[in-house]
A and B are shown apart, each in its own frame.
Chain A
Amino acid sequence: MSSAYAEALRALPKADSPEWLRQLRHDAFARFEALGFPTTRNEDWHFTSVTPIAERTFTPVAHGPGTGALSPADVAALVIGDPSWHRLVFVNGRFEPELSAFSALPAEVRVMTLAEALQESPEFVAEHLGKLAAYRKDTFTALNTALAQNGVVIHVPRGVVVDEPVHIVHITDAQASATAIHPRLLAVVDALAHVALVESYASTGTASYFTNAVAEIEVGNGARVNHYKIQRESIEAFHVGTVQVSQGRDSVYHSFSYAAGAALSRTNVYTKLLGESGETRLNGLYMVDGTQHADHQTFVEHLAPSCASRELYKGILDGTSHGVFNGKVYVDPVAQKTDGKQTNHSLLLSPEARVDTKPQLEIFADDVKCTHGATVGRLDLAALFYMKSRGIGADQARALLTYAFAAEVLETIELDTLREGLEKLAFARFTRGEQR
């Protein structure tokens, strides 16, 4: 099962890795081998079979500089973004300095590739890398921890407000075929600092590859992080992404997960509220058709009093696609005055599409307010008739209502460029049949 990955581990350049990192990689790989790929007997993977990932051989991408085959205009056409955003671009997993631009960042903010950070701030990386990511418990996180070569390290020091988002772009082209890419993000946002992070995954074509991403985000006391993950991988690709967040007192973490690509995708967002009065908002939209499978898993751990968490996930499913939403909320005995609300709505556009949704509340404090609600439905017949009664044709009415279902969650995106870009994508998809 793991021979190609073992080979990939052996092939990692040794000269520039400190001892602790070599140790971490070997520990993580040992965990990966011990855990193996999850089966559907595993409760957290009950509705998602990763057999297509487990049975295929994905080789590592070649090391060294990228091919330079893409122009800045190609990148702009593939991802939603703004020229004013700070940008780090990876093509087929390799960093592309020519396509990247982040020199306009405030001087005290450090943004580096993982390789650079290991050279320039090895102590910083050693202090934070692998601290939130649960590589001992999760196979995919273990695999990423063992093999992540390219990644991004961000440090926003105390009180610094970064005005423009940091955009981390992962693009694949035909050369990515049959490769495994393990993007890593480590963001340490100190007390009272603010930053917006955008992760975009896109592809020029229909190559079949495996993206296995891990992000670790530390949100300090009173800090604020807006985190957007835009997954528009190739339709033949596999995407497993895990985001692990820790939040300090009075901190705010807002996450938006958009998933429209990949044959099979699994997106995990796990947050720990460690300090009082923290706020977590996890929103998401997935839109799938054909035989696509999209699985979202969230886990909010209320480990301190007076924190609030809000979740709104929506799915639109056509064809024979399959959606899964598993939202867990844990409220620790100390987490009194917790205010949690979780909502999951799915819209089925075809009789063969299927959704499995499982909200789970585990509450061990008595003075809390926690609710969850899930609906699975079809287009509202009353609204359809209302539109038709105004002269709007049946197809257009269906398209508008489907778009409206998506727009209700897209409008929670605070970043204007991103919100408008995704609204345009969703609109074109449902009114003109354009893809993803």
Chain B
Amino acid sequence: MLKIDNLHATASDKEILKGVSLAMNAGEVHAIMGPNGSGKSTLAQVIAGHPGYVVTAGTITYDGKDLIAMQPEERAQAGVFLAFQYPVEIPGVTNAYFMRSAYNAVRKAQGKEELDPIEFLELMDERLKLVDMDVSMLHRSVNAGFSGGEKKRNEILQMAVLEPRLAILDETDSGLDIDALRVVAEGVNKLKRSDNATIVVTHYQRLLNYIVPDFVHVLAQGRIVRSGGKELALELEARGYDWVMEAA
């Protein structure tokens, strides 16, 4: 489904990704771990198409398509979703309107019929339960004045609405207490299917107790320095990142 080959990316002329390669299939969950500043979030943002990063070498192939050539909205319409580490506040646009616009933009791109506001609210009723959110959240401005936990839940709600083929969760666990973490993780697990895939970007092993990865990759200084099964996360937790960086 996704194949990243020798990816190099810069921000403000500083090279952050220095040759990342990664392949994943539908139905898989991959965790990307690594110390702060290793390039984890950059990788997530580059896949989503953040304009602040320039890909200087390498390829990203998604469902056989050249992802780098696509606009961020085209990637989303093709089923790529990034749950932001720092979700953006948009005062003045309600969550309901924002999500319906997104949902219908994706539907339209897929040649499907758009939903009217009533039909959309029915859909939302069901999706809200997935992340244990109240319907009143829909009438608030997007993320404006939301607590850290509410923002992260709102990301997963958007994921539940858009039903992406490839979801990237960027530090979704940061700032969450254990109850919120469980709710978010359960939501993600319920959305898991054999035809979609998830990348979990995290600094800590904690989230991976709830969202169990098939593969764990360690990113350090812009490269994947080690890959393994889920037990690698436990080993990192026990021994720290220094160990794997020394071994690399």
List the interface of chain A (C-beta within 8 A of B).
380-383, 385-394, 396-397, 400-401, 403-408, 411
- Which residues B134-161 have CB closer than 8 A to chain A? 141, 158
CB distance from A344 to the nearest CB of B (A): 16
In the complex, besides A383-B89, A400-B93, 12 extra interface pairs with C-beta distance below 8 angstroms are: A387-B98, A388-B49, A388-B71, A389-B76, A390-B105, A391-B105, A394-B71, A401-B90, A401-B93, A406-B92, A408-B91, A411-B92
B82 within 8 A of A: yes
Docked pose: A403 CA to B142 CA in angstroms: 14
CB proximity of B69 to chain A, nearest CB, Å: 15
The answer to whether A404 and B92 touch across the interface, beta carbons within 8 angstroms, is yes
B72 pairs with A405, CB closer than 8 A: no
Give the shortest distance, in Å, between B196 (CB) and chain A (any CB): 16
Residues of A within 8 A of B73 (CB): 388-394, 397
Which single residue of chain B is at the shortest CB-CB distance from A431? B101
Question: Any chain A CB within 8 A of the CB of B175?
Answer: no
Residues of B contacting A396 with CB < 8 Å? 101, 105
Could you tell me if A392 and B101 are in contact, using CB atoms closer than 8 angstroms? yes
Q: Is the CB of B82 within 8 A of A389?
A: yes
Interface pair A389/B90, CB less than 8 Å apart: no
Q: Which of A383, A394, A406 contacts B90 (CB 8 A)?
A: A383
B positions within 8 Å CB-CB of A: 48-51, 71-73, 75-77, 81-82, 84, 87-93, 97-99, 101-102, 105-106, 109, 141, 158, 162
Are the C-beta atoms of B88 and A382 separated by less than 8 Å?
Answer: yes
**Nearest CB to that of B80 among chain A residues?**
A389
A-B pairs, 7 with minimum CB distance: A404-B92, A391-B76, A390-B102, A407-B92, A386-B88, A388-B72, A391-B106
User: Of A381, A385, A393, A408, which is within 8 A of B92 by CB?
Assistant: A408
- Contact across chains for B76 and A404 when beta carbons are under 8 A apart: no
Give the CA-CA distance A388 to B98 in the complex, in Å. 11
Q: B109 contacts which chain A residues (CB < 8 A)?
A: 391
A385 proximity list for chain B (CB < 8 A): 49-51, 72, 88
Let me know if B90 and A391 touch, CB within 8 A: no
- Chain A residues whose CB sits within 8 angstroms of the CB of B90 once the complex forms: 383, 386-387, 400-401, 404
Q: Which residue of chain A lies nearest to B159 when distances are taken between CB atoms in the complex?
A: A390
- Expressed in whole angstroms, the minimum distance between the Cβ of B83 and any Cβ of chain A is 10
Task: Write the nearest CB–CB distance from A71 to chain B, whole angstroms.
Answer: 33
Min C-beta distance of B11 to chain A, whole Å: 14
Report the nearest B residue to A423, measured CB to CB: B92
**A400 engages B71 (CB within 8 Å):** no
| B50: nearest chain-A partner, CB-CB | A385
Complex: how many Å from CA A394 to CA B82?
17
**Closest residue of chain B to A407, judged by CB?**
B92
Q: Which of B76, B89, B93, B158 contacts A388 (CB 8 A)?
A: B76
Task: List the B side residues contacting A393 at CB < 8 Å.
Answer: 73, 105
A307 to B69, CA, bound (A): 58
Residues in B with CB closer than 8 Å to A405 are 92
Closest to B102 in A: A390
Q: How far is the CB of B77 from chain A (nearest CB, A)?
A: 5
Contact check, B51 vs A389: say whether CB atoms are below 8 A apart. Answer: no
Known: A383-B88, A386-B88, A404-B90. A392 touches B102 (CB 8 A): yes
> Once bound together, how far apart are the Cα atoms of A404 and B97, in whole Å?
11
Jot down 16 A-B pairs with beta carbons below 8 A, ordered by A.
A382-B88, A383-B88, A387-B98, A389-B81, A390-B106, A393-B73, A396-B101, A396-B105, A397-B73, A400-B97, A400-B98, A404-B90, A404-B91, A404-B141, A408-B91, A408-B92
CA distance A392 to B162 in the complex (A): 12
Nearest neighbor of B103 in chain A, beta-carbon distance: A391
CB distance from B67 to the nearest CB of A (A): 13
CA distance A397 to B81 in the complex (A): 17
| Complex interface: chain B residues within 8 A of A401 (CB) | 90, 93
